[in-house]
Amino acid sequence: MNRRTLKKNIRYICGDVVSQCLFATHCLPGAKIEEFNDIILKTAHLQTSSLRRTSVTFDKTPKDFDSRAQYNKARREYYSKAFKSLEKEFNKELQDIVGDMNKALPAKKTK
């Protein structure tokens, strides 16, 4: 996945979470509005911090390696490791946010 696609996906996911929060606060009676507002802020922070983390650069130059192939391999490994770390942390924080959303929903009514 390239950087541009990764940034788009982050924006789409965070936008979907916020839209679900807004839907819940406006359409579900008994939803905890203050908690949903906090979740929206957490989601905004997640988006900005994740987008900032996509702007990494490889700190070596081709001159630091014996061949261009070694440079390309090291560069690919660097970016792969950085983006996998970002994905892992993003997913963990997103799961926490979804858990908070579930807690903020109104209690289920039983007959």
pLDDT digits (tens, 9 = 90+) for 5-40: 999 999 999 999 999 999 999 998 888 999 999 999
Exposed/middle/buried for 4, CB within 10 Å: 0-12, 13-18, 19+? exposed
* Whole-number percent of the chain with pLDDT over 90: 83
| Per-residue model confidence (pLDDT) at position 110 | 55
pTM across the whole model: 0.84
Go through 43-82 and write b for each residue having 16 or more CB atoms within 10 A of its CB, e for each that does not: beebbeebeebeeeeeeeeeeeeeeeeebeeeeeeeeeee
